[in-house]
Amino acid sequence: MALKNEMVAQGNFLFRYRSYFPILLLPVAFLVIWATLPEKQHFYTRSIDTIEILAILICLFGLLIRIMTVGYTPKNTSGRNTEEGQVADSVNTSGIYSMVRHPLYLGNYFMWLGIAIFTGSIWFVVAFTLMYWLYYERIMMAEEEFLLNKFGKIYESWASLTPAFIPDLGKWNRPALSFSWRKVLKKEKNGLFAIFFSDFYTSMLGTMVKDWPMGYK
């Protein structure tokens, strides 16, 4: 199998299970937090500092990108999938899609980058970024292969002018549809929940450190 075909096949598999990526991230993030705590200090006793505020703001920025994406897109687009695989009734080319081809995954990156920054470890942030790229690069390749096969020249023409992941702000075009809060609330409530759950998760597990047999570090 050619390398491209192999990566597309991997991407189709990962696409089905992409929502489980945070489950892999959170336990590792907690271990990094615990390992880097100052002597005789538990996570649950830490005061909120600038890094934590920055982390939350970055998470919310990622959620905002997703909201601006989902709120302007038509039905059966923007990363929807079924038991059979990917679904797309049209190619999104206006609004945020006029600046970047994969805005949802850009939003995801910032949401989970915030969690990585929350650990306070620059090495974990770098490792997370590399892992995220390897994981989602394959998913993006699989999506693009699907869209190219379905929409042909329409997709190819748009993709040739639009960056894959780093937005080109100069290419902004107004959204073709009006904004739908109903759609956002239906599809993105889980994203907001995930941000606050992640904060709660690390805080809750941090309180358990004092009960571990190893005691304080």
Say how many C-beta atoms besides its own lie within 10 A of residue 136's C-beta: 22
Query: Domain for residue 179, yes or no?
Result: yes
Residue 101 tokens read as 């081809």
Query: Domain for residue 62, yes or no?
Result: yes
Query: Domain for residue 155, yes or no?
Result: yes
Per-residue pLDDT band at 113 (split at 50, 70, 90): very high
* Strand stretches in 104-165, DSSP E: none
Query: Domain for residue 9, yes or no?
Result: no
- Predicted confidence (pLDDT) at residue 200 exceeds the cutoff of 60: no
Per-residue pLDDT band at 155 (split at 50, 70, 90): very high
Q: What pLDDT is recorded for position 62?
A: 93
Query: Domain for residue 82, yes or no?
Result: no
Per-residue pLDDT band at 90 (split at 50, 70, 90): confident
Number of domains in the chain: 1
Query: Domain for residue 85, yes or no?
Result: no
Domain span at 105:
24-32+48-74+90-211
Q: Of 206 and 68, which is predicted with more confidence? A: 68
Query: Domain for residue 152, yes or no?
Result: yes
Cα 160 from Cα 31, distance rounded (Å)? 42
Query: Domain for residue 7, yes or no?
Result: no
